[in-house]
Copies of this chain bind each other. A is one copy, B any other.
């Protein structure tokens, strides 16, 4: 059999597993949007069953045999010549996934999926009732199983590295620590400078904004950005998210509150950024690493690029503010573009990560990263999580939660078993800053085009530079191909300093 034939056979088997994975994502999407409450238990069983099947497929003899024909699984050496270099890259990623997957027994995968599906419902209830004790036993079990997972998968220095590596391949906690320490210091300094200045006026954002009009406006923005409703949809859920079952079925959710019309709009743009990545992956590579996103950090770079660099920019609102005013003439009649721009970029410490501004956001992430390292090296016992969280919050942001709902119960991630996930939020901002420099070089007139309501060129640029490559390159490598500079927090810090010096003079 030729190398190409072998590759196609491998792709075919892998595609079945990825198709099944898409079905699991649909089960999860339904759980967060339309599922009747009483179906929680059977839903957990469905997800667990499919996760097990999927895992079996991706570790089956048939699959391993197909992969082994092309790459030495021990050494990672490509066995066959005649493949394209992108195909060779795909083989290396397939091998990486297999090594990780075979480290976990099917029973473990099923048990973990069942646990987290149940934990998700309990977390929701615990959050509603502000009852950490209700969630604690599930969290304890998730941490235990994550430790087990780390041991099974293996790591060089600390168990937490194994979890980090799942979301940002190749990144270690020492590297993240180093990045975050220089970032944290400078962000805290900037935050100090800002809070010393007079506050930005935002009272007009706290009116009584009609929900249906808001949803309609979010849909209008999505249409303007070129979001293809033929291959996606927008729904409501308690926590906005984006998901994908295939490049032809990517869905996003948002949430609406009557007293702030901007957060939901930015949440929608954020999730659209994620969705554009999934929609932009090459469909003919679906089922292979060339049809997948690189990492969670790169994913977040796409959402933050759209949210902060486009959605929170002056030109964007030069185009959309008049439309928003048409919708809410009474509430916004005296608001100038300048005061609107300053308001939606107001810096103010908040307890809730997803409500945080660009300047304080990294501090929320650094807090969570430190919590997770502490939980995993045993220095923060489960029952002390609320207190340690609150202490850190007070230290970094100068405010202290009075409920766990606004503290350690606010995020869905731990209930989903997503330890190691949070750092990607900040890595995403750092990546987006590198990308933006290259984007601005390619499109020096981006701001006037955006002010004219042109957006397709942004999606095209990101598609060509990022989405089209699937997992062919690692994050840092791809950034270097695009931007040429060494990766560091500097572009992000420069951006923050420039933008907020301007806003806060």
Q: Chain A residues in contact with chain B, CB under 8 A? A: 16, 19-20, 22-23, 26-27, 30, 34-39, 41-43, 45-46, 49-50, 53, 228-233, 235, 245-246, 248-249, 251, 286
Min CB distance, A236 to chain B, in Å?
A: 12
Min CB distance, A251 to chain B, in Å?
A: 8
Instruction: Assess the B46–A23 pair: CB atoms within 8 A.
Output: yes
Which residues of the partner chain B approach A19 to less than 8 Å between Cβ atoms? 42, 45-46, 49
Nearest B residue to A16 via CB reads: B49
Other 10 A-B pairs with CB < 8 A, given A19-B45, A23-B27: A20-B49, A20-B50, A26-B30, A36-B230, A36-B232, A36-B249, A36-B251, A38-B230, A39-B246, A43-B249
Instruction: Assess the A230–B23 pair: CB atoms within 8 A.
Output: no
Nearest B residue to A15 via CB reads: B45
Which residues of the partner chain B approach A20 to less than 8 Å between Cβ atoms? 46, 49-50
Instruction: Assess the B37–A230 pair: CB atoms within 8 A.
Output: yes
Min CB distance, A245 to chain B, in Å?
A: 7
Which residues of the partner chain B approach A235 to less than 8 Å between Cβ atoms? 34
Which residues of the partner chain B approach A36 to less than 8 Å between Cβ atoms? 229-233, 248-249, 251
Nearest B residue to A50 via CB reads: B23
When A and B form their complex, which 6 residue pairs have the shortest distance between CB atoms, in order from nearest?
Answer: A39-B249, A42-B246, A38-B230, A38-B231, A38-B248, A39-B248
Give the interface centre of A16, A26, A37, A39 by most chain B CB atoms within 10 Å. A39
17 A-B Cβ contacts within 8 A?
A: A19-B45, A19-B49, A20-B46, A20-B49, A22-B42, A22-B46, A34-B235, A36-B231, A36-B232, A36-B248, A36-B251, A38-B228, A38-B248, A39-B245, A39-B248, A42-B246, A46-B245
Nearest B residue to A247 via CB reads: B42
Roughly how many angstroms separate A30 CA and B230 CA in the complex, as a whole number?
A: 15
Give the interface centre of A20, A41, A46 by most chain B CB atoms within 10 Å. A46
Which residues of the partner chain B approach A232 to less than 8 Å between Cβ atoms? 36
Instruction: Assess the A249–B38 pair: CB atoms within 8 A.
Output: yes
Instruction: Assess the A249–B35 pair: CB atoms within 8 A.
Output: yes
Min CB distance, A256 to chain B, in Å?
A: 18
Min CB distance, A453 to chain B, in Å?
A: 24
Roughly how many angstroms separate A58 CA and B249 CA in the complex, as a whole number?
A: 30
Which residues of the partner chain B approach A53 to less than 8 Å between Cβ atoms? 53
Roughly how many angstroms separate A235 CA and B35 CA in the complex, as a whole number?
A: 12
Instruction: Assess the B233–A41 pair: CB atoms within 8 A.
Output: no
Instruction: Assess the B42–A249 pair: CB atoms within 8 A.
Output: yes
Roughly how many angstroms separate A16 CA and B56 CA in the complex, as a whole number?
A: 15
Nearest B residue to A235 via CB reads: B34
Nearest B residue to A250 via CB reads: B36
Which residues of the partner chain B approach A228 to less than 8 Å between Cβ atoms? 38
Nearest B residue to A251 via CB reads: B36
Roughly how many angstroms separate A248 CA and B246 CA in the complex, as a whole number?
A: 28
Roughly how many angstroms separate A19 CA and B232 CA in the complex, as a whole number?
A: 27
Which residues of the partner chain B approach A230 to less than 8 Å between Cβ atoms? 36-38
Nearest B residue to A40 via CB reads: B248
Give the interface centre of A38, A43, A246 by most chain B CB atoms within 10 Å. A38
Which residues of the partner chain B approach A286 to less than 8 Å between Cβ atoms? 42
Min CB distance, A63 to chain B, in Å?
A: 15
Nearest B residue to A39 via CB reads: B249
Min CB distance, A246 to chain B, in Å?
A: 4
Which residues of the partner chain B approach A251 to less than 8 Å between Cβ atoms? 36
Roughly how many angstroms separate A37 CA and B235 CA in the complex, as a whole number?
A: 16
Which residues of the partner chain B approach A245 to less than 8 Å between Cβ atoms? 39, 42, 46
Nearest B residue to A20 via CB reads: B49
Min CB distance, A401 to chain B, in Å?
A: 32
Contacts A233-B34, A233-B36; A248 near B42 (Cβ below 8 A): yes
Give the interface centre of A20, A22, A23, A53 by most chain B CB atoms within 10 Å. A23
Roughly how many angstroms separate A23 CA and B26 CA in the complex, as a whole number?
A: 10
Roughly how many angstroms separate A286 CA and B229 CA in the complex, as a whole number?
A: 37
Min CB distance, A32 to chain B, in Å?
A: 13
Which residues of the partner chain B approach A231 to less than 8 Å between Cβ atoms? 36, 38-39
